[in-house]
Amino acid sequence: KKPLLFIFYMVFYILAIWLGNLVIMISITFSQLTNQPMYFFLSYLALSDLFYTSTVTPKLMTDLLTERKIISYKNCMTQLFTTHFFGGFEVFILTGMAYDRYVAICKPLHYAIIINRQRCNSILLASGAGGLLHSLGLFLLTIFLPFCGPNEIDHYFCDVYPLLKLACTKTDKISFLVIANSGLMGMLIFVVLMASYVMIMYNLRAYSAESRHKVLSTCSSHITVVILFFVPVIFIYIRPKTTLPENKVFTLFYTIIVPMLNPLIYTLRNTEMKNAISKVWHNKMFVEGKQMI
């Protein structure tokens, strides 16, 4: 049974996460979409997904093939830091994408001035800084805790709440800081994102039916990703440290399932993305075919 699960995870990891996100990144980079801020952010979201899932999935797969599932303290702390860094980076990239859509729909005449390449680079740097501060905060809350045996983590990766359960000291104050760092931050950003899309939908009334359909096809993809990502995050981190059977399922959503679905969500419902993929990969295969001849 476990070897079959390993093969299942490996196939989805390679095809859905790596191949899917690489196709998005390459298609955007080698097409006109790279000049559009929305797709500029999407290429970095795909890059973030690759690193984000790679902090969790390989260890999860190797554990399926071993009897003793061991991770060193150093690797555990590294996994905690990197997972939350790329997770935080992804949160702020999604926020940047929502800001781009808000300006494009609600302030179309000023869009080119407000969302220029310099502003996009600033949002990208701010996303990295935000992810670093978020991750560093959780890392510093955890690394100085005293742990006592048996050091068995009731989770499939080193997350902050499972580690707090192993601490040989009271962690109520730290748990509150985790809620502020992750739960409340996630809730606040989610509310802001949803409010921005309510305003976008309100302003769409003035658009033609064809324009509305085009905008909705892009925005609906983004809203889907935001809901699938943020709802499990809020469920996990808005509460004090507790162990529920549902925790692992919800964590699986935002660490593996959403990054796996992102390429499908952003291509199946996005005509521009599908056209870019078709042109880039058709031209690539055509050029390679001519060279072989």
DSSP 167: B
Overall number of domains in the chain: 1
**Are the C-beta atoms of residues 238 and 178 closer than 8 Å to each other?**
no
CA 180 to chain centre: 20
What's the mean per-residue pLDDT of the chain? Answer: 86
pLDDT digits (tens, 9 = 90+) for 52-109: 999 988 888 888 888 777 888 899 999 999 999 999 999 999 999 999 989 988 888 8
Residue 287 has pLDDT above 60, yes or no: no
pLDDT digits (tens, 9 = 90+) for 128-160: 999 999 999 999 999 988 887 677 787 778 888
Could you tell me the residue range of the domain that residue 142 belongs to? 1-291
**C-alpha to C-alpha distance for 62 and 6, rounded to whole angstroms:** 8
**C-alpha to C-alpha distance for 279 and 226, rounded to whole angstroms:** 28
**C-alpha to C-alpha distance for 189 and 187, rounded to whole angstroms:** 6
**C-alpha to C-alpha distance for 244 and 70, rounded to whole angstroms:** 23
What is the three-class DSSP state of 147? strand
pLDDT digits (tens, 9 = 90+) for 214-255: 777 778 888 888 998 999 999 888 887 666 667 778 888 888
Joined together, the tokens standing for residue 111 give 């869009």
pLDDT band at residue 7 under the 50/70/90 scheme: confident
pLDDT of residue 8: 83
CA atoms within 13 A on the CB side of 258: 28
pTM: 0.88
Length of the chain in terms of residues written:
293
CA 68 to chain centre: 30
Here the CATH number for the domain that contains residue 61 is: 1.20.1070.10
